[in-house]
Amino acid sequence: MNASMLGARSVEAVTLPVIDISGLSSSSLEKRAAVGEALRQACLDKGFFYCAGHGIPQGLIDAAFAESRVFFNRPIEEKLTVDKVHSFCNRGYEHMRGQTLEAGAPADLKEGYYIGPDLPMDDPRVVAGRFNRGPNQWPADQPGFRPVMMAYFAAMTDLGERLMRGMALSLGLPENHFDAFVREPLGTLRLLHYPPQPKDAAPNEKGAGAHTDFGGLTLLLQDDAGGLQVHDSASDSWIHADPIPGTFVVNLGDMIARWTNDRYRSTLHRVVNESGRERYSIPFFFVGNPDHVVECLPNCLSAGEQPKYSVTTVEDHLKAMYQRTYTPAPAPASAGKA
Ligand SMILES: O=C(O)CCC(=O)C(=O)O
Ligand SMILES: [Fe+2]
């Protein structure tokens, strides 16, 4: 199946904005507010934009891709030693077709690796029944993997925090509005590898089925293969979000749609790797503090308007979202402090 059969059209028709966020680090409120205004426009439209001026060193980006390629190119038996079935907190390797992002479509033609905040078993935050808290799994015989991924994880957490200050400005709120949300945030780094789209792909088979992201902000690094498509609701068609060197694709997840009563958009997207070669990408899902209460922001309700979503917490929201695309995770074996 090719892009035209799947109804995608080229980026010339509709483009996503490029936003230089370096102004967020300026001492001038005017410059910070200008970034906030650009974010506001993008969030009211598709909730998808290219982020430039982010300050993440290219060397760190290259190193993360290099370690990811090395891992995915290892024999399957080695990859399965860190299979996420061994983890009670969803960390480690996810085999090809291990997730179905689009209900009713074939499973996704991708394999992945989940990394989160590295909490040892004796950390007080590792409590039975709590979601995604615990240690990472690390592949043996790949000494660069852990330090590079943890450095990249820290850089993404910092970028997520900076962007949340911009989001507050964009919503006409004090810059520190989301400070409680970003305290001890949960983040998920996800290494992804997509084989080329097979010539004999099943109907509707894709690298990643159409979905919206679960969390707050997604910071996506893609290689130069292309393949990310974003839904354009005005024309009910798919546009290509081709990679732009030096940028991240940033998109809003369902949590921000909840906060803003859908004024800010969590937009459907999908991946079809038609490059004819391997594709690698590294999304980072910035989801905030698990205990934080997510409810409609008062300034996102007009007079008489009701919130569309119930009040929830970051953790409860995420649990519900994971259940949508995975069967339940195994119960924790030894995290028994509750
Ligand atoms: O690989 C990509 O470019 C996008 C992946 C994605 O949308 C996701 O993991 O949520
Ligand atoms: Fe996504």
Q: What is the pLDDT of residues 85-106, one digit of tens each?
A: 999 999 999 999 999 999 999 9
Instruction: Confirm or reject: Cβ of 220 under 6 Å from ligand 1.
Output: yes
322: CB partners within 8 A, 6+ apart: 90, 131, 214, 329
What is the structure's pLDDT at 310?
Answer: 95
Q: Which of 111, 116, 132 is nearest to 192 (CA)?
A: 111
Written as six digits, the tokens of 17 are 């904005």
Mean pLDDT throughout 277-282?
Answer: 98
Written as six digits, the tokens of 181 are 């949300």
Instruction: Confirm or reject: Cβ of 269 under 6 Å from ligand 1.
Output: yes
Give the C-alpha distances (Å, rounded to integers) separating 285 from 139, 185, 189: 22, 10, 6
What is the structure's pLDDT at 337?
Answer: 28
- As to burial, measured by CB atoms within 10 angstroms (0-12 exposed, 13-18 middle, 19+ buried), residue 304 is exposed
Instruction: Ligand 1 pocket test: pick from 94, 271, 274, 324 the residue with the most ligand atoms within 8 Å of its Cβ.
Output: 271
Neighbouring C-beta atoms of residue 200, cutoff 10 Å: 6
Task: Give the single-character DSSP code of 95.
Answer: -
In a domain, 141, yes or no: yes
What is the structure's pLDDT at 323?
Answer: 78
What is the structure's pLDDT at 219?
Answer: 98
Percent of the chain with pLDDT over 70: 92
Instruction: Confirm or reject: Cβ of 228 under 6 Å from ligand 1.
Output: yes
Say yes or no to pLDDT of 17 above 70: yes
Residue nearest to atom 1 of ligand 1 (CA): 281
Q: How far is the CA of 122 from the centre of ligand 1 (A)?
A: 33
Residue 110 CA: which ligand 1 atom is closest? 1
Say yes or no to pLDDT of 3 above 80: no
In a domain, 333, yes or no: no
In a domain, 334, yes or no: no
What is the structure's pLDDT at 329?
Answer: 43
Q: How far is the CA of 190 from the centre of ligand 2 (A)?
A: 11
Say yes or no to pLDDT of 11 above 90: no
Question: Whole-angstrom Cα distance, residue 228 to residue 249?
Answer: 10
In a domain, 273, yes or no: yes
Per residue in 215-264, pLDDT tens? 999 999 999 999 999 999 988 999 999 999 999 999 999 999 999 999 99
In a domain, 100, yes or no: yes
In a domain, 237, yes or no: yes
Written as six digits, the tokens of 253 are 């997840």
Question: Whole-angstrom Cα distance, residue 160 to residue 33?
Answer: 17
Tell me the CA end-to-end span of the chain in Å, nearest whole number: 49
Residue 222 CA: which ligand 1 atom is closest? 3
Residue 5 banded pLDDT, cuts 50, 70, 90: very low
CATH number for the domain that contains residue 117 = 2.60.120.330
Q: Which of 11, 2, 17 is nearest to 201 (CA)?
A: 2
Instruction: Ligand 1 pocket test: pick from 221, 223, 228 the residue with the most ligand atoms within 8 Å of its Cβ.
Output: 228
Question: Whole-angstrom Cα distance, residue 288 to residue 274?
Answer: 34
Written as six digits, the tokens of 317 are 């929201």
Please report how many Cα atoms fall inside a 13 Å half-sphere around the Cα of residue 86, on the Cβ side: 14
Question: Whole-angstrom Cα distance, residue 162 to residue 178?
Answer: 10
Residue nearest to atom 8 of ligand 1 (CA): 283
What is the residue range of 41's domain? 9-325
Written as six digits, the tokens of 156 are 């993404």
Q: How far is the CA of 204 from the centre of ligand 2 (A)?
A: 17
- Decide: helix, strand or coil at residue 84: helix
Residue with tokens 């291990």: 98
In a domain, 337, yes or no: no
Say yes or no to pLDDT of 334 above 50: no
Residue 4 banded pLDDT, cuts 50, 70, 90: very low
Which spans in the chain are helix H? Answer: 29-44, 58-72, 76-80, 145-170, 179-182, 254-259, 314-325
What is the structure's pLDDT at 9?
Answer: 52
ipTM associated with this complex: 0.99
Instruction: Confirm or reject: Cβ of 271 under 6 Å from ligand 1.
Output: yes
Instruction: Ligand 1 pocket test: pick from 220, 224, 325 the residue with the most ligand atoms within 8 Å of its Cβ.
Output: 220
Say yes or no to pLDDT of 330 above 70: no
- Decide: helix, strand or coil at residue 173: coil
Give the C-alpha distances (Å, rounded to integers) separating 201 from 1, 206, 274: 6, 8, 11
What is the tally of structural domains in the chain?
Answer: 1
In a domain, 4, yes or no: no
Please report which ligand is nearest the Cα atom of 271. Answer: 1
Q: How far is the CA of 283 from the centre of ligand 1 (A)?
A: 6
Average pLDDT of the residues of the chain: 91
Torsional sign, CA 285, 288, 291, 292: negative
Percent of the chain with pLDDT over 90: 83
- Decide: helix, strand or coil at residue 52: strand
